[in-house]
Amino acid sequence: MLSLGTRCGDRRLRHTFEVTTFTGMELHTRYKADTVPACKEFVIQEVDTKLDKEMKEPDDQDTDGGKSDRSKSDERQSRSFKSATRSAMKEDYKSLEDTTDETFTEGEESYSGDNDSYMEHLERSSSSLQDDYAESTGESQYMETRVPAAEEAEEEVKKKISESFFYNYMELVSMPFQLSLRHSFGYDCRKRANLQLLDSNTVMYIAGNQLILLNLKTKEQTYLRSSSGRGIGVIGVHPYKTCFTVAEKGVFPKIIIYEYPSLRPYRILQDGTELAYAYVDFNYDGTLLASVGGNPDHTLTIWNWKEEQPLLRTKAFSQEVFKVTFNPENDEQLTTSGSGHIKFWEMALTFTGLKLQGFLGRFGKTATTDIEGYMELPDGKVLSGSEWGNMLLWEGGHIKIELCRAAGKPCHQGPINQIMLDEGEVITIGSDGCVRIWDLETIDTADTTDETGLLEIEPINELQVDKSVRLFSMIKMNETGNNFWLAQDTNGGIWKLDLSFSNITQDPECLFSFHSGAIEALAVSPLTYLMATTGLDCSVRLYDFSSKTPLLQTKFKQGGTALIWVPRLVSYTGGQIIVGFEDGVVRILDLYDPKGLTIFVGRKRILDADIRLKKAFKPHTAPVTALAYDRDGEILATGSKDKTVFFFEVEKDYKPIGYITTPGPVCQLMGSATSHVSSYLSSCLILSCYTMK
């Protein structure tokens, strides 16, 4: 963008230029103003190669298709104007190229290139200025003739993005002031396809606003931050592991493609959806990328991602779409699935050009189901899962047969979340925590012999990971001679599974464990490098944040909603926490070192820890939302959504001494500072505030 500034009142609009050239990209000129008073003469002129393209559209040419009738003197005048414009712009650039105070707003992209192509870009850009000059003198806007075919071909070559071009990461991402992330204990375990393998030692996953690259051997983490600051929708990996995609959330979010292992932003795809991406997938050779958006638009887009261009775009479905994939055997066929549907797509050449044509799968007599997992078979059929655990074999847009186990038993107890083909065998994983292996030929040739439409088959092998595990996705590890897989557990785990099914098969190993939902409360020890958390996944967890180590977790029947560290006035060892739960129960927990059988004390690193219950009581009928001690440590107050605050005498083993009702649910309790003459407990309510002496 070229900024042309004129006087605004008595002040000059100060601007800076940065001209960066790159083959095929528009000339970028940015401005920065100290002040922006009312200004009627300030002009911002777009300088974009798109104008050159528009001038060459057939509808914009003379009807005879020949050369313009404009006189040679006019052409000389045009060339003189172009030369003068180029000289003026070059002088402006030279006079301002040393400016160092230019800033970029969040989300801006900057292009880099060689200065050798600077004059070529000025020539292309000045043609747009020439049009404005002609328009101001009353001449036709489209006064240039059609360029020869050779020049048109050369122009098309210029518009391609160089293979060596990269964006600047620091200008791309949103930075949280001067804070830097040291370590993350989080994992969005319920996000689809949120466990991807980059090489034999590195996996990546999303945790909130961060993309985390984790070295499985060293446990070191590397972070990439969301450019929008609003989170990441989904991630994907190129078939050759040379790059990966980060499809974000936000208003018209971006898909950023990073080179691996350099982690430099390589390409940016824009305007593919309105608020968030739901899924992305590369075709077999990695030349195309398919993306599908979430609510409200559910837009399906096929990208020529290296050129940052959308090739085809359409609405995938009117309800939520979970997944989109290319057919590995045919790049012109795709499949999408989601809430109550599965849809089969083809890239068809019509009289209006290449189009995406979708055919909705018909369930017929089978009950409609959400479809989470599916896969394309080599012969064009599609095998999908169902909410009740059976497999559905699709052919020609209809269900050919439904597969179950003997005696009508379902293939899985609950939804089938992923179906894969590996070494001639079909692998299914389900919310029941089971991995089952099936014979591909038996499934592919399956046919019904009665009116039920059911065919009973049995798995070749199966693995029960754990009864508390809900498998969501799996990826195969690149270990020669082994058949190891990494599995995503929606209950917060990352598992390593051995699917060799031999005499030396290893037991399932939980590599990492996280909260499986939102963290409701967090507290840090005043004495040690310890941090305690609780959440609605019914767990209380303890971390040593100095050594970046999770120490322990313990499960309860209800989710945790409030947590504080007991002050030293009450527990001199500093090894107690008090936790409130969804059912109104309050528990006081002791933390200790099981090896030394001692309570934690002092600021030292803790390598091992355990937890034991000291006391439990139930003062409330709704979730506990706030906990606080008075400044002397003599009274504990508990607040709740039931609009009550209870008080307990600490010295008498937390004997209740009374309660008060409040106008609204309690959201916070706080003891008065030591500077106050009297001790107070303040209660912050959702509707109002209430203070008790």
Lowest pLDDT segment from 341-345, 413-417, 451-455, 482-486: 451-455
| pLDDT band for position 41 (cuts 50, 70, 90) | very low
Higher pLDDT, 286 or 76: 286
Write the pLDDT tens digit of every residue in 433-481. 999 999 999 999 998 767 788 999 999 999 999 989 999 999 999 888 8
- Higher local confidence (pLDDT), 135 or 623: 623
**Average pLDDT over the chain, rounded to whole?**
79
Rounded distance, CA 519 to CA 572, Å?
A: 27
Query: Average of pLDDT values for 16-28?
Result: 39
The answer to whether the CB of 497 falls within 8 A of the CB of 491 is: no
Burial bucket for residue 64 (CB in 10 Å: 0-12, 13-18, 19+) = exposed
Q: Residue 541 falls within a domain, yes or no?
A: yes
DSSP tag of 672: P
Residue with more model confidence, 302 or 689: 302
**SS3 annotation, 438-488:** EEHHHHHCCCCCCCCCEEECCCCEEEECCCCCCEEEEEECCCCCCCEEEEE
Above pLDDT 90, what percent of the chain? 59
Encoded tokens for 299: 């837009």
Closest CA to 662 of 642, 644, 640, 638: 644
Cα R_g (the chain), whole angstroms: 32
**CATH number for the domain including 627?**
2.130.10.10
| Whether pLDDT at 69 is above 50 | no
Tens-place pLDDT, residues 521-533: 999 998 888 899 9
Q: What is the pLDDT of residue 403?
A: 96
Weakest mean pLDDT among 55-59, 551-555, 593-597, 649-653:
55-59
Decide if 494 is inside a domain. no
Give the C-alpha separation, 654 to 642, whole Å: 21
Residue matched to tokens 């941090």: 531
Residue 686 within any structural domain of the chain: yes
Asked whether residue 456 is assigned to any structural domain, the reply reads no
In the chain, % of residues over pLDDT 70: 71
Residue pair 283/330 in contact (Cβ under 8 Å)? The answer is no
Residue 95: which H helix or E strand, with range? helix 72-96
Residues 490, 514 contacting (CB under 8 angstroms): no
pLDDT at residue number 97: 40
Between vectors from CA 185 to CA 505 and to CA 597, what angle results, nearest 5°? 80
Domain boundary among the residues 142, 158, 174 is at 158
- What the block records as the tokens of 283 is 């075709």
Helix (H, G, I), strand (E, B) or coil at 306: helix
Last residue of a domain, one of 135, 158, 181: 158
Q: How far apart are CA 173 and CA 267, in angstroms?
A: 14
Length of the chain: 693
Residue 557: pLDDT over 90: yes
Q: Judging by beta carbons within 10 Å of its beta carbon (0-12, 13-18, 19+), is residue 639 exposed, middle or buried?
A: buried
- Please report whether residue 542 resides in a domain: yes
Quick one: pLDDT band at residue 678, thresholds 50, 70, 90? low
Rounded to an integer, the average pLDDT of 18-45 is: 38
Least confident of 28-37, 305-314, 497-506: 28-37
Q: Is residue 165 part of a domain?
A: no
Determine how many CB atoms are found less than 10 A away from the CB of residue 213: 21
Residue 110 lies in a domain: yes
Q: What end-to-end distance do the CA atoms of the chain give, in Å?
A: 64
Mean pLDDT of 139-162: 49
Residue type for 298, please? H
The pLDDT of residue 460 is: 96
Q: How many domains does the chain have?
A: 2
What pLDDT is recorded for position 684?
61
Average confidence (pLDDT) over 6-21: 39
Last-in-domain residue among 116, 142, 158: 158
Per DSSP, the residues of 225-279 read E-SSSS-EEEEEE-TTSSEEEEEEBSSS--EEEEETTT--EEEEE-SS-SSBEEE
586 within 8 A of 638, measured Cβ to Cβ: yes
Most confident residue range from 48-62, 250-264, 593-607? 250-264
Mean predicted confidence (pLDDT) in 29-35? 39
Pick the more confident residue, 687 or 624.
624
Q: Give the pLDDT score at 240.
A: 96
* DSSP track, 277-290: EEEEEE-TTSS-EE
- On whether residue 418 sits in a domain, the answer given is no
In terms of average pLDDT, the best of 110-114, 149-153, 336-340 is 336-340
User: What would the mean pLDDT of 167-175 be, rounded to a whole number?
Assistant: 81
What mean pLDDT do residues 531-557 have? Answer: 93
- Going from the C-alpha of 138 to that of each of 12, 54, 85, 133, the distances in angstroms are 30, 20, 19, 9
The pLDDT of 314-319, averaged and rounded, is 96
Q: With cut-offs at 50, 70 and 90, classify the pLDDT of residue 604.
A: low
481: which residues sit within 8 A by CB, 6+ positions away? Answer: none
pLDDT attached to residue 48: 40
Residue 682's pLDDT band, with cuts at 50, 70 and 90, is low
Domain that holds residue 620: 520-692
